[in-house]
Structure 1
Amino acid sequence: MAIIQPFRAVRPTKDKVGLVASRSYESYSRKEREARLQFNPYCFMHIINPGYKYHREVSGENRFKLVRNRYLEFREDHIFIQDEIPSLYIYKQKTRKHTFCGILGGASVEDYKNNRIKKHEATIQAREELFMEYLKTVGFNTEPVLLTYPDRELIDNIIERITATIPEYEFTTTDRITHYLWKISDPETITAIRNEFENIGDIYIADGHHRSSSSCLLAENLKKDNPDHTGDEAYNFFMSYFIPESNLRIYEFNRMIKGLNGLSKEDFLIRLDESYRIENRGTELYRPSKKHHFTMYLDGEFYSLYLRKTRYNFTDPLRTLDTQLLYDTILYPILGIKDLRNDDRIAYGYGRDNVVEMKSLIDKGKYTVGFGMLPATMEEIRKIADEGLQMPPKSTFIEPKLRSGLTIYEF
C-alpha cells in the first residue's frame, strides 16, 4: 500500500515559467550559471544562490536564511502563485528521443520509515542532517524525489485522458526539452489515483535517497516541536515524482582511475587475467555487449574483459551487479580502491558519449585506466532493494532529471 498525497503547489505564473524553471545547480558549468544569473532575473538559481545579489559567496546558516528571503521576494513579486486547493500534477518531458510522464504528489514519510518506499543506496549522515537543516530554515522543497512503481493500466488511462487536454504549462528549454504540466484538482480523479496506489504495494526510489532521508529527519524534528501533531501536516510528506517503471531510462556510470596502484601495465594485465579473459580490441571505440563483460581503455587501446565465472560466486543480487563485480574483482583487490565515495583516485562519467570522453581524459593523462559496462536494469534495482542491500555509489544514472522551481512544496 503506497500513499500519494495532493498538495498546494507554489509555482511560477504561466508567463514566467520558462524563465524560472532551471536544471540542478551542479549541472551547469560556471559560465552557464554566471550567464543565467546575469541575464535572467527570474531564474530560480537566484533563490538557491542568494549571495549573487551581493557579489559574494555565502554558506552555512546565513545562506539558508538568504535563500528563504529570496524565495519570499519571488512570492511577494507574484512571480510565484500558490494553488488554492490541494492537487496532484501530471508532468511530462519530451526530449528528442524519449517522452517521460508521471505524477507529482506527496510521498509519505511513514511509508519511507516502514520500507514501503524501498531504497537501494546508502546515505551519508552528515549530508542528511545538513539538508534537513536547510529544509527547516527555508520552509520549502523544490526538488522532487524520483519514485517508480510497477506499470498500472488504470493510472496510465487517467494520465492519457488528462494529457489529451490543454496543459497548464507548455514551454521548451534551451536543451531542446519541451515541458508540460497539468493540474489534477477533481476529487474523483484524485481518489481514483490514490486508491490505485494503495493497491500497488511497494514503490522504489530511483533517484533522491538523501532528499528522502532528510525529509524523514525533518518530519521527526518538526513533530517534536508540534504538541498538536496530527499526522496530516505537510511535513509528513515529501514532494515526489511518481513514474511507471517502463518509463524510466537507466544509464551506466563509467569508472576512471588514476594510476595502477604501483603496478606496471604488464603486471596489471597479468593480475586481471586471473579473473578475466582479456582481448585487445585496438584503437577503435569498443563497448561491452552483455552483463559481466567490461570494456577497458588503457595506454591508447581498448580491451574487452570477459569474467571467468569459476572465479566468482553470485551469492546474492548485489554480487551479480556489474558495478559490484568490478569493485570485488578489480577496483579493490588490484587497484586498492576501498572507499568508492572518497578516494580521489577514482572518477565517474555518464552519458551516451562517455566512452569518447573517457578515452579523451585518459589520453590527456588525467587518468590511467577506464572501465565501461552495461547499465543496471530495473529488475536488478528492485531485487537489491527488496533484500535491503545497497548498491555501490554511482551505479545508475536515471532519467528523467526534473526542473527546480516548477512546483514547490511548502512545509
Structure 2
Amino acid sequence: EQDRIHHVDSCNANTGPIFLACRYPDSLLTLMNNWKDHHEAAYDFTEEDQITHRVWVIDEDEVISEINKEFAGVDSLYIADGHHRAASAVKVGLKRREQNPGYTGEEEFNYFLSVVFPYDQLCILPYNRIVKDLNGLTVKAFLGALKFNFELMLMPGFPCKPVEKHCMGMYVDGQWYHLKAWPDIYDKKDVVGQLDVSILQEKVLRPVLGIEDPRTDQRISFVGGSHKAAELAEIADRTGGVAFVMYPTSMEDLMKIADENKLMPPKSTWFEPKLRSGLFIHKL
C-alpha cells in the first residue's frame, strides 16, 4: 500500500483502475449493448497473454446523462480487485486536502479511477494453495486425518479439478485425490465459514498441517487459477508437500459477505481478465 501511495503521489495520477462490480440494471445493459452494436471501438487490441481489450467512447450528452441516472439507482459497488489501490488513492487524496486547505471537493484529487463491470459477466478463478511439507506426518497419517471431515477418493492418472462447491482436488506423494466436505462440518448459514477456502483452513491447514495464519506462514503459498494443476503438482513434489486445487468462490458469495459487513478470507478470489494498467489514466 505504501508503494502504491508513493506511485500515485509521484505520478500525480491513478494509472490502474480499481476493479469494481455491481448488479447492473437491465436497462443499462441494453444501453451498453446498443451502443457497441452501432459504434466502432476506439481501442481494439490483443496482448501477448491473448486477452483482448475493446474500448468504446460514449460521447453523447443524452446517453451519458442516462448512464448517470442508471448508476444513481445502484445501491452498492463491490471491490473485486484493487483494495490496496483504493486505500492508497484515498490516502493520497487526504494528503492533497491537507496540502490544499481551501479545497472545494471538486478537485481531481478528490476522486480516483475505477471500472465497474456487471457482476454476472465476471470470471472468478480459484486461488489454489500449496503447503511445503506435511507438518511431520507420514502420507498415510495425513490421509487418515482428512477422512474425519472429507470423503476421499483416489483419482489415478490425471489431475483432479473440482466441478462443484465444497469439493477440492488434492495432490500429494505423486497421487491426485478428490475431497468432498461432509455436509455436517460447516454451517450453511455462515456466509464466511461455508466458503471452501474457510473449510480448508479450519479443517486441514490449521489442525492437520499447522498453518495458523495463512497471511504470514512461510510454509504456504498461493497460486492463481490461471496456472495448470500439473504446475501445482510439480511445485509440491519439490519439497514433498501437498497442493490443493480449489473450486472458485462465487460472486454471489462475495457480495453477500460484503453486504453483511464481514471479511473474505485471504486469497479467496482470482479475477481474470484484468484491465491493463495505463490503458486509462486519471490525472490528479
TM-score by length of 2: 0.93
Aligned to 2:281: 408
Instruction: Name the residue aligned to 2:235.
Output: 361
**Given that residues 128 and 225 in structure 2 are in contact (C-alpha distance below 8 angstroms), is that contact kept between their aligned partners in structure 1?**
no
Q: Is the 8 A contact 1:340 1:392 kept in 2?
A: no
How many correspondences in the alignment? 283
| Structure with greater contact order relative to length (CA < 8 Å, sep ≥ 6) | 2
Distance 1:216 1:367, change over 3 A: farther
Supply the AA of the counterpart residue of 2:78. Answer: Y
Residues 365-396 of structure 1: CA distance to partner in whole angstroms, max 9, x if unpaired?
A: 24511111210111100111111211122211
In the alignment, is residue 387 of structure 1 matched against residue 280 of structure 2? Answer: no
The residue type paired with residue 204 of structure 1 is Y
Which position in structure 1 is the counterpart of 2:99?
225
Q: Take 2:8 and 2:226, find their aligned partners in 1: how far apart are those partners? A: 34
Distance in 2 of aligned mates of 1:229 and 1:286 = 57
TM-score between the two structures when normalised by the length of structure 1: 0.65
Aligned pair partner of 2:20 in 142, 147, 155: 147
Counterpart of 1:178?
A: 52
1:303 pairs, out of 169, 177, 197, with 177
Instruction: Say if 1:283 and 1:300, in contact at 8 Å, map to a contact too.
Output: no
RMSD: 1.8
Matched residue, 1:378: 251
Q: What is the rounded CA distance, in whole Å, between the counterparts of 1:380 and 1:262 in structure 2? A: 35
> C-alpha displacement at 1:252, in angstroms?
0.2
Q: Which residue pairs with 1:317 in the alignment?
A: 191
* In structure 2, distance between residues paired with 1:396 and 1:300: 27
Identity of aligned residues (%): 36
Partner Cα distance (1:287, 1:168) in 2? 39
Runs of 4+ displaced beyond 4 Å:
none
1:151 maps to amino acid: Y
**Structure 2 equivalent of residue 49 of structure 1:** none
SS at match of 1:184: coil
1-structure distance, mates of 2:164, 2:47: 35
Residue identity matched to 1:278:
L
User: 1:182 corresponds to which letter in structure 2?
Assistant: W
| CA distance in 2: counterparts of 1:342 and 1:408, whole angstroms | 34
Q: How does 1:189-204 map to 2 (within 5 A)?
A: 189-204=63-78
State the Cα deviation string for residues 105-161 of structure 1 (Å, max 9, x = none): xxxxxxxxxxxxxxxxxxxxxx2x442233122201111111111122222222223
Residues 215 and 367 from structure 1, CA distance in 2 versus in 1: closer, same or farther, beyond 3 angstroms? farther
SS in 2 for 1:283: coil
CA distance in 2, matches of 1:337, 1:237: 40
SS at match of 1:347: strand
Task: Give 1:176 deviation, angstroms.
Answer: 3.0
Gaps of 5+ in 2: none
